[in-house]
Amino acid sequence: FFFFFLMIRRPPRSTLFPYTTLFRSNKDTSVTATYIDSSGRFWIGVYRKGVLCHDNGKWRLFLENSSPYSIVEDMYGNIYIGTLGNGLYCLSPDADYTPAEIDLVGRKYVPHLSCNRGGTIYATTSAGLGIIDAATKKVEILDGNRRQTQRFNTPDLQSVFIDSRGLL
């Protein structure tokens, strides 16, 4: 009996994922986005906690206390993160992934991102569609409203996808 008891002792704490406190006893914590970039880094968006990145056996936390909702990579290796209430951010490998906000003319709700082969990022917002040139970071906004006087008959766009032909 004593031998059996020794065999079922608690295993050592894992060092693979040191951010386990983000997920412990917190009912409002949920994973909202995942992405594996071209270099094999694993990105995890956690509601109201930020973005975790696993790279070469180490974890890093970005945009702490934000609510990331979508993650995408452009052809230059930049990571774009759309958030719920904090706007759109670009993390460049040239700047050690320091977050830089991309101004979507006051639009802070960015639930979905897509990137085409030509380097254009499409960001849905609460007031239309943001189109970002990945090379210049220049932003164009296609507005929407319920009066149907804009390009979209609803301002609140939830998702945008690029098909296999590269079409929006």
**Predicted local distance difference test score (pLDDT) of residue 117:** 87
DSSP assignment, residue 22? G
The answer to whether the pTM exceeds 0.75 is yes
Instruction: Label residue 159 by pLDDT band (50, 70, 90).
Output: confident
**pLDDT surpasses 80 at 22:** no
Mean pLDDT across 59-84: 94
**Predicted local distance difference test score (pLDDT) of residue 154:** 66
Find all residues with CB under 8 Å of 16, minimum gap 6, and list them.
Answer: none
**Predicted local distance difference test score (pLDDT) of residue 7:** 46
Classify burial at 71, counting beta carbons within 10 Å of its beta carbon; exposed 0-12, middle 13-18, buried 19 or more.
Answer: buried
**pLDDT surpasses 90 at 90:** yes
Instruction: Supply the DSSP string of 92-124, one letter for each residue.
Output: -GGGTT-EEEE--TT--B--EEEE-TTSEEEEE
Neighbouring CB atoms inside 10 A of 40's CB total 9
Classify burial at 9, counting beta carbons within 10 Å of its beta carbon; exposed 0-12, middle 13-18, buried 19 or more.
Answer: exposed
**Predicted local distance difference test score (pLDDT) of residue 23:** 53
Of 105 and 65, which is predicted with more confidence?
A: 65
**Predicted local distance difference test score (pLDDT) of residue 10:** 45
**Predicted local distance difference test score (pLDDT) of residue 28:** 62
**pLDDT surpasses 70 at 147:** no
Percent of the chain with pLDDT over 90: 49
**Predicted local distance difference test score (pLDDT) of residue 53:** 94
